[in-house]
Chain A
Amino acid sequence: DAGVIQSPRHEVTEMGQEVTLRCKPISGHNSLFWYRQTMMRGLELLIYFNNNVPIDDSGMPEDRFSAKMPNASFSTLKIQPSEPRDSAVYFCASSLRTGRKIEAFFGQGTRLTVV
Chain B
Amino acid sequence: AQSVTQLGSHVSVSEGALVLLRCNYSSSVPPYLFWYVQYPNQGLQLLLKYTSAATLVKGINGFEAEFKKSETSFHLTKPSAHMSDAAEYFCAVSGNNDYKLSFGAGTTVTVRA
Contact = CB atoms under 8 A, between A and B. Distances in A.
Interface stretch (A11-19, A68-76, A105-113): A105-113
Contacts of A105: 46
A103 B52 CA distance: 14
Interface of B: 32, 34, 36, 42-46, 49, 51-53, 90, 92, 94, 98-103, 105-106
A48 B51 contact: no
A105 B45 CA distance: 7
Interface of A: 31, 33, 35, 42-43, 45, 48, 50, 55-56, 91, 93, 95, 97, 100-109
B46 A95 contact: no
A95 B99 contact: yes
A106 B99 contact: no
Contacts, number: 55
B68 to A, nearest CB: 19
Nearest to A108: B43
Q: Please name the 10 residue pairs, one residue from A and one from B, whose CB atoms are nearest each other, closest first.
A: A106-B44, A108-B43, A31-B99, A106-B43, A43-B103, A50-B99, A42-B105, A102-B32, A109-B43, A100-B51
B33 to A, nearest CB: 10
Contacts of B105: 42
